[in-house]
Structure 1
Amino acid sequence: MQECSLVIRERPANQPQHSLPTASQVAAITVGDDIETMVRGRDIKVQTHAGKLRWVRQRQKELRVELKCWQKNDITIVVRGQYMTQRYEDRMAIILKEGKPDIFLTMTCNSSWSEIASKLSPTQTPQDHPDLATKIFRAKFEQLKQDVITKGVLEKFGLSGIPCKETEPHLHEAVLRHMVYGPCGTLNQSSPCMKNGQCKLDNRWVVSYNPWLLLKYDCHLNVQICSSIKSIKYLYKYCYKGLDRVAMDVHRSSHYDEVQQFIDARWIAAPEVYWRIFRFNLYQMYPSVERLQVHLPN
């Protein structure tokens, strides 16, 4: 048997999909596209009569387009080849009718939640029970949506700065634990907010927060105000930034072709596996959009 090594590489900071995991975890590396498409049917392979499959590689500039349009027999043919483009247009249709969103809210799981810690033995960590963390996070996420919709808690959004430790000790501790970026700059050059030796955040120490939400959910809650229609594209790109991926190469010796061996694969961690096993919704859009098969000129 020949010995080989697997090298996992980290991409630049502007490609967060390829960031190395911060926790010790069990994961699967899948080479190819979405795993759902791999088990659903058959592939169609295009190759020349000589048996060499180079057509796709040599025509990337032609294939990687948002919109194709060409003439054939005096008929204009328009093909939208990108799934994401259609999804983006669906959301723009909602905005056209209902108006732009006001708030963009994200929630992060806290592995120290009492609901998780109370179920672990003294020798276990949250990483040992990704099924438990997945269930607890989903339950709190659904409750957060109900609180936002029924209690109007986001009306109090906008506080910033570190609360006084003497008068508000619990809020002071929660802000330091979840809402503070840093230290960075000369104190920590490896901070995620650092780029070319400078902090890329305007306020690197603390971000705005909602006291009621922060104390109740005890986790990082990022609330952003959508100030203009231009922010919609940013929100869309954030929600559909893609799956976690890993840059890796496999080689048998110190002499290898790095370009030939490089593989851009999908990284599937245990929480994502359990989220799919429990059949929790991956996304939801409300109100729904029905696409009419009507084509305007061009």
Structure 2
Amino acid sequence: MFEKQRDAMAYARKYGCPDMFITVTTNFNWKEITDHLLEGQHPHDHPDLLVRVFCLKLKQTIKNGCLGSVDAWLYNIEFQKRNLPHAHILLWMSRDSKIHPCMIDAAVSAEIPDKNQDPELFTIVTSHMVHGPCGG
């Protein structure tokens, strides 16, 4: 962790403050995971598969340009209580991909879709993005 912190400080010296802080979490229902399970197996039976798919998707997310052009990135992978890997990512965006304050509301949304207007999206958001009480 100490080494990651020093890397982040070096990046900040060269690129300035990071433009984005993103958390990416494994979804054990990803097709790349479920397609490789034998009958009767569950994703938690294959932590190697979970981690491999997660790392591939993480690098694809950063490198494929879906977030824009990235000059530098730094991430740390941790494991949640359910043993699913997740990453905390700092991104330094290229000048043409920076999000300006006036664009935040268009780029970030934190609302649950209307169940009557879009039931499919409502189900997706409530099953993946809403957490119940922790513990126990």
Tell me, yes or no, if structure 1 residue 128 matches structure 2 residue 45.
yes
Say yes or no: does 1:170 pair with 2:89: no
State the 1:171 CA deviation.
2.2
Partner secondary structure for residue 36 of structure 2: coil
Q: Secondary structure at the match of 1:177?
A: helix
Structure 1 residues 161 and 87, CA gap change in structure 2 (3 angstroms) = closer
* Equivalent in the alignment of 1:112: 29
Q: Where do 4+ consecutive residues of structure 1 move more than 6 Å?
A: none
Task: Give the Cα separation in 2 of the matches to 1:176 and 1:150.
Answer: 30
- The amino acid across from 1:117 in the alignment is T
Q: TM-score, normalised by structure 2?
A: 0.59
Q: How many residues are paired up?
A: 101
Question: CA–CA distance in 1 between the matches of 2:23 and 2:125?
Answer: 16
* Displacement of 1:150: 4.2
Structure with bigger RCO (C-alpha 8 Å, 6+ apart): 1
Please show how residues 48-127 of structure 1 align to structure 2 within 5 Å: 84=2, 88-127=5-44
Rate the CA distance shift 1:100–1:175 in 2: closer, same or farther, 3 A.
same
RMSD of aligned Cα (Å): 2.8
**TM-score normalised over the length of structure 1:** 0.30
Partner letter of residue 134 of structure 2? P
Unpaired segments ≥5 residues, structure 2: 71-96
Q: Deviations over 1:198-233 (max 9, x none)?
A: xxxxxxxxxxxxxxxxxxxxxxxxxxxxxxxxxxxx
Separation in structure 2 between the aligned mates of residue 167 and residue 161 of structure 1, nearest angstrom: 14
- Residue 90 of structure 1, CA deviation: 4.2
What secondary structure is seen at the aligned counterpart in 2 of 1:104? strand
Aligned partners of 2:53 and 2:16: how far apart in 1? Answer: 33
Alpha-carbon distance in structure 1 between the residues aligned to 2:4 and 2:26: 27
Deviation at 1:168, TM superposition (A): 2.3
* 1:161 is aligned to 2:111: yes
Pairing 1:265-284 to 2, within 5 Å after superposition: none
Greater fraction of residues in helix: 2
Q: Secondary structure at the match of 2:126?
A: helix
Distance 1:158 1:141 in 2: 19
Identity of aligned residues (%): 35
SS of the equivalent of 1:149 reads: coil
Deviations 1:157-214 (A, max 9, x none): 32122101232233212210122133xxxxxxxx239xxxxxxxxxxxxxxxxxxxxx
Q: Which whole-Å CA distance do the structure 1 matches of 2:131 and 2:44 have between them?
A: 24
> 5+ residue gaps in structure 1?
1-82, 183-190, 194-298
**Cα deviation, residue 97, structure 1:** 3.3
Amino acid of the residue matched to residue 91 of structure 1?
Answer: A
Quote the Cα distance in structure 2 between the aligned partners of 1:133 and 1:122. 17
Deviations for 1:39-72, whole angstroms, at most 9, x for unmatched residues?
A: xxxxxxxxxxxxxxxxxxxxxxxxxxxxxxxxxx
Residues 23-50 of structure 1: CA deviation (Å, up to 9, x unaligned): xxxxxxxxxxxxxxxxxxxxxxxxxxxx
Distance 1:91 1:132, change over 3 A: closer
